[in-house]
Amino acid sequence: MKKARNILFLLALSLVLVIAGCSSGGGDNSDGEKKESEKASKSGKDIVIAVADNFTTMDPHDTNDTLSNSAQKTMLEGLVGFDKDMNVIPVLAEEYAASEDAKEFTFKLKENVKFHDGTPFNAEAVKVNFDRLADPNSGLKRHSLFSLIQEIEVLGEYEVKFVLSEPFGAMINTFAHPSAMIHSPKALEEHGKEVARNPVGTGPFKFVEWKPSEGLEIVKNEDYWKEGFPKVDKITFKPVSENGSRIAMLQTGEADFIYPVPTEQADSINGKNGIEVESNSSIIVRYLAMNLLKAPYDDIKVRQAINHAINKEAFIKVVMNDHGNVLDSVIAPDVQFYSKQDPYAFDVEKAKALLKEAGYENGFKAKLWGANHSSAIKAMEFLQQQLAQIDVEVEVVPMESGTLSDKIWSVQDAKDAEIELYYGGWSPSTGDADWGIRPLLGGHEAFPPFSYNISYYENTKVNELISAALATADLDARGKAYEEVQSLVWEDAPWAFLSTDNTMAGKKNYLKGIYLLPDGSLSVSDIEIE
């Protein structure tokens, strides 16, 4: 009798636990369906944005992560910037011109713009900022983008000229890079390196407080130069590294906008609780690099075979849950001078035939290196399975970031490089073909440890064309050169060309004017609540 009561009790208890478990998941679902067409509502004009990591610094000149750039962009602005499709648009500049030889760049500045501390924005302010960036002794992480600047001439209160030590055709895009945003000269003088914690710019929002582990608070700049903007009063950024928690914040309304949204969960939250998921193409490319100095990858037929053996559509479905596109050049469509190539069709028979021609009828063994986070491992396992179809036996070697970078960059002589296959990604943050191609495939000058030519790809013709494209500011000439570069690289296939990522954000449907750019940075200057 007693025993029976015990058992009954335990049963009842487990039932309660099961019900509690279900009501969390299940209740949520039915809620969502009811609210499907509902418009979420918002009182007040304070916005909370949850992001995946802590910001590292508020000094764009010393920043190398897109996330920190996103925060800085709310407060600081550059001479030029990017629009939604990565086209260069004037911001603090009224207009700009480049000399034919791509050595001189002149900017006419907007008048009547003031920094948050009241300092007027003028040519002198521009000079102070870029002198800082161009000086190697300031120890800034983004110095190398501006190391070519030889002289900055103030031509008038609102006109400034940059003179480079050698031609650099991609310079306008470099000026649009987030690192070229402008501090108040007064703040630079007062705070020195501490501008990293005291950002003062001309942007739509003003700095209030930043605690790295808790978040950043900014308020509306009442004197913003763009009439009628910004349209919200306050924005709070919160670092929330766990995907599930970030999504929960959007569901509870603790956050109005979150990014990134993991591709696995995008479809299940979209359209419920007044949530909209925005999935848009980015300029991040995914590729499988092959070491061309090593057999069998020195044989172009082997490289082409590998390209044919991989089903890119399936790659996007499996690895990215359909939030991505097939990569059809070495750079993504939103990068300047992109030109579309004919994809390597998924064709196992053709791949096998190519391998046979190359003398690898029975396949070979390969080591595939990559990062050790779950999405990279998933991608590498997919590639392993695809290449098994042509009897290439791939060993997946995921590595922790420090170890991986040691393995890749401690190589002093290219011939000693151990690397065979490498799964990687690249986002050319200047939005120009130059930064999308030269660091990765720009011949021996880009070999590790100098840069990221992990394929050890060297094609003299490509090198010449890249140099030629940098020697002029003539857009047509640059475009032609990069068109040829892209088709040559595509033929040579130093990579298996895989996919481009999507940017993934989630928002409440009352928010408008907030979006992720194809470079993954956030734009909030037009944000409004409906």
Partner 1 sequence: MLRFLTKRLLEIIPILLVVSILIFLFVHMIPGDPARLVAGEDATLEDVELVRKELGLDKPLHEQYINYMANLVKGDLGTSLKTKRPVTEEVFERFMPTFWLTFWSMVWAVVIGLIIGVVSATKRNKWQDYLGMFGAVSGLSLPSFWLGLMLIQLFAVTLGWFPSGGMESWKSYILPSFTLGTGVAAVVARFTRSSLMDVLKEDYIRTGRSKGLSEGKVVWGHGLRNAMIPVVTMTGLQFGFLLGGSVVIETVFSWPGLGKLLIDSVAYRDYPVIQAEMLIFALEFILINLIVDLLYGVLNPQIRYE
What amino acid occupies position 507? K
Residues sharing a CB contact under 8 Å with residue 390, sequence separation 6 or more, in sequence order: 305, 306, 309, 348, 351, 352, 355, 363
Q: Does 207 bind partner 1 (CB under 8 A)?
A: no
Q: Does 241 bind partner 1 (CB under 8 A)?
A: yes
Nearer residue to partner 1 within complex by CB, 140 or 330: 140
**Residue among 429, 455, 486, 523 that touches partner 1 (CB under 8 A):** 429
Residue with tokens 């690192």: 179
Nearer residue to partner 1 within complex by CB, 121 or 456: 456
**Residue among 38, 400, 491, 530 that touches partner 1 (CB under 8 A):** 400
Segment 99 to 118, residues that bind partner 1, using CB under 8 A: none
Helices (H), 289-400: 300-309, 312-320, 348-357, 374-388
**Residue among 33, 95, 214, 530 that touches partner 1 (CB under 8 A):** 214
Per-residue binding letters, 331-350, with partner 1 (x by CB under 8 A) = --------------------
Q: Are 390 and 348 in contact (CB under 8 A)?
A: yes
Per-residue binding letters, 215-234, with partner 1 (x by CB under 8 A) = --------------------
Segment 403 to 422, residues that bind partner 1, using CB under 8 A: 403, 405-406, 409-410
Peptide linkage before 343 cis (omega within 30 of 0): no
Peptide linkage before 449 cis (omega within 30 of 0): yes
**Residue among 439, 483, 488, 513 that touches partner 1 (CB under 8 A):** 439
Residue 278 exposure: Cα atoms within 13 Å on the Cβ side? 21
β pairing state of 421-426 and 364-371? parallel
Q: What is the separation, in whole angstroms, between the first and last Cα of the chain?
A: 65
Q: Does 141 bind partner 1 (CB under 8 A)?
A: yes
Nearer residue to partner 1 within complex by CB, 65 or 101: 65
Q: Does 38 bind partner 1 (CB under 8 A)?
A: no
**Residue among 46, 131, 254, 391 that touches partner 1 (CB under 8 A):** 254
CB burial of 198-219 (b: ≥16 within 10 Å; e: otherwise) equals bbbbbbbbbbeebeeeebbbbb
What DSSP element (H or E) covers 495?
strand 495-508
262 to each of 268, 283, 319, 433, 503, how far by Cα in Å?
11, 18, 11, 28, 10
Only one of the segments 81-89, 142-150, 347-355, 519-527 lies at the binding site for partner 1 (rule: CB under 8 A); that segment is 142-150
Q: Does 136 bind partner 1 (CB under 8 A)?
A: yes
Q: Does 34 bind partner 1 (CB under 8 A)?
A: no
| Burial label, 528 (beta-carbon count in 10 A; 0-12, 13-18, 19+) | middle
Nearer residue to partner 1 within complex by CB, 17 or 475: 17
| Burial label, 53 (beta-carbon count in 10 A; 0-12, 13-18, 19+) | exposed
Q: Does 21 bind partner 1 (CB under 8 A)?
A: yes
For 370-382, the DSSP string reads EE-SHHHHHHHHH
| Structure token digits, residue 229 | 């903007």
Please count the residues of this chain forming the interface with partner 1, following the rule CB under 8 A.
Answer: 64
Only one of the segments 55-63, 73-81, 96-104, 411-419 lies at the binding site for partner 1 (rule: CB under 8 A); that segment is 55-63
What amino acid occupies position 179? S
Distance CA 218, CA 232 (A): 11
Only one of the segments 18-26, 83-91, 200-208, 477-485 lies at the binding site for partner 1 (rule: CB under 8 A); that segment is 18-26
**Residue among 41, 150, 245, 374 that touches partner 1 (CB under 8 A):** 245
Q: Does 64 bind partner 1 (CB under 8 A)?
A: yes
Q: Does 365 bind partner 1 (CB under 8 A)?
A: no
Residues that bind partner 1 (CB under 8 A): 2, 5-6, 9-10, 13, 20-21, 23-25, 27-28, 31, 54, 56-57, 62, 64-65, 136, 139-144, 147, 193, 196-197, 211-214, 238-242, 244-245, 248-249, 251-252, 254, 400-403, 405-406, 409-410, 426-427, 429, 435, 439, 449-452
